A and B are shown apart, each in its own frame.
Chain A
Amino acid sequence: MSDVSYRELAVQGLWKNNPGLVQILGMCPMMAISNTVVNSLGLAMATILTMVVSNGLASAIRHWVRPEVRLPVFVMVVASVVTVIELWMNAYLNTLYHVLGIFLPLIVTNCIVIARVEGFAARNPVLPSLYDGLMMGLGFGLVLVALGVIRELLGFGTLLANAQQLFGPMAANWTIHVLPEQAHFLLAILPPGAFMALAILIAIKQAIEQRRAARLAQPVALELPKAATAS
């Protein structure tokens, strides 16, 4: 298919069909990991990488995979990619690897990955598939990081705490302290905080859409038929 518009792919992934805010996919890692910005960033990057690589691979082999066995094959592809990323993070980002824990290998089961592989990459050429994986991954990652910002800010009163886990020793003093100790709203870093913060983000998105729709809708002039009353 050559009629795929890259612009449309970006709009779909980042806004219209955002995996976190519209499709509500991948909730388990989204809720569990988004309690700090650095954790969110780590998981977001791993997810984006997984989506790009597995979309590309699935698209490249799509002509040789029979439809009857496509799901197991695609899951194998995704699982191999995730394993590579997991081993790499274990080697080079060891502390973050331990913080993310089980949610790193669980990217395999993240519905959004297999949804894009099955729904897009299996029917499209390699280049658009790579781009689609990147955009969908970015859409997921942005929501994850937004949740991380809200929850870390309210719950710990900081931003970018433990940045050295992701960016190396030079990032050790990147932490920004915003709120004093006694104003920490602990609920934000507990599971209910994740649900409420995500609900608020979804509500904000809906409000923006509604506002835009109201602005775009042209006022329709109503004209009453005059002829009938003339007699």
Chain B
Amino acid sequence: MKFSPQTAPLPEASNSVRRVMLTVLLAMLPGTAVAIALLGWGVLINILLAVSAGLVAEAAMLSLRARPMRPAIGDGSVIVLAWILALCLPNLGPWWLPVFGTVFAVVVAKQLYGGLGFNLFNPAMVGYVVLLISFPEPMTRWGPAIDSSGSALNFMQSVAWSFSGVLPSGVGYDGLSTATPLDHVREQITTGASIHHATQSLFSGGSLAQSWNLWLSLAFLAGGALLLWRGVIRWHIPVAMITGVLVMSGFLWLLDSVHHASPLFHLITGATVFGAFFVATDPVTASTTPRGRLIFGFGIGVLTVLIRSFGSYPDGVAFAVLLMNLCVPLIDYYSQPKVFGHKKSEPIK
């Protein structure tokens, strides 16, 4: 019998980039399925467009930079990036929205910085913010799968709408699209209505689609639980970010509950849960020390609520993530854990 001696330490097979990315994709499946069920085929079309554009852009950049193609394409990081970006995009948007956003994210935010592991900012959020700032009108084209008259677009009709802006006869764009909850509340508040009135008119319809954010949040929470269980992410960032959202929105709500939405509303609407588990936890751009992760996540939560309440865009997760990405080197520098046996932690120069 052959005995091969091994010396300690005896490590387990660790997570490869490929396995981590596949787990993230798997974890996004429930949320994606719920999004397709509630918002229609547009979500799937966005994902397909973004993923193919992302792969093409990555391959083109790798060949321009004369880098090996197979490891960078095969690790699936582009697919995750494109998928996350596509889930942020409006389901009734035109086809070039996911394509442009993903190409910008891959080319500028990822490859120009040196590829996976070297980017300073979360590429998906860079792509999203560029689209949001550059094309404000197409970025508002949200709507439920089933419109006010009870009809729904099938897959081919959604494709036709995405590519040529043609709707089947009898369906109007105005009947299809609606304001998202954050948009709606924001508009009501700016016209002087109270938050109570705004949220009541929002959820009074009682239909599934009108509270789609609750179901989406639950599905993404399930995906996040999978990530935690598989050890792909640690608990610090999601918990800290959600705490940040609750603390800041709770503070504003206690201060003035007429003009500020409740913490629960902030928790289930917008990209709070999705952002906490899938965006803020990006291993490249997030803080890497335990204490740093808590500061990083909490900062994102607080900034998100501040941007939602006082900024000029309805949701603030993307901006908050990018702003905190900027702070990561500083946070990491000052939050290094104490090395065992040393009295005081000295930042490594």
A residues engaging B (CB < 8 A)? 182, 184-188, 190, 196
Contact = CB atoms under 8 A, between A and B. Distances in A.
B320 to A, nearest CB: 18
Contacts of A182: 135, 137-138
Contacts of B136: 186
A190 B133 contact: yes
A154 to B, nearest CB: 9
A214 B130 CA distance: 37
B61 to A, nearest CB: 14
A187 B138 contact: no
Given A186-B136, A196-B108, 14 more contacts: A182-B135, A182-B137, A182-B138, A184-B134, A185-B134, A185-B135, A186-B133, A186-B134, A186-B135, A187-B130, A187-B133, A187-B134, A188-B134, A190-B133
Contacts of B133: 186-187, 190
Nearest to B129: A187
16 contacts: A182-B135, A182-B137, A182-B138, A184-B134, A185-B134, A185-B135, A186-B133, A186-B134, A186-B135, A186-B136, A187-B130, A187-B133, A187-B134, A188-B134, A190-B133, A196-B108
Nearest to A186: B134
B70 to A, nearest CB: 27
A184 B135 CA distance: 7
Nearest to B137: A182
Q: Is the interface of A mostly helix, strand, loop or mixed?
A: helix
A185 B101 CA distance: 12
The 5 closest A-B pairs by CB, nearest first: A187-B134, A186-B134, A185-B134, A187-B133, A187-B130
Nearest to B96: A183
Nearest to B112: A199
Contacts of B135: 182, 185-186
A182 B100 CA distance: 14
Nearest to A203: B112
Interface in B73-123: 108
Nearest to B131: A187
Contacts of A187: 130, 133-134
Contacts of A190: 133
B66 to A, nearest CB: 14
A188 B136 CA distance: 14
Interface in B124-147: 130, 133-138
A196 B133 CA distance: 15
B221 to A, nearest CB: 33
A185 B137 CA distance: 12
B312 to A, nearest CB: 13
A187 to B, nearest CB: 4
Contacts of A196: 108
Nearest to A193: B134
A184 B133 CA distance: 11
A196 B104 CA distance: 12
Contacts of A185: 134-135
Contacts of B108: 196
Most buried by A among B108, B130, B134, B136: B134
Contacts of B138: 182
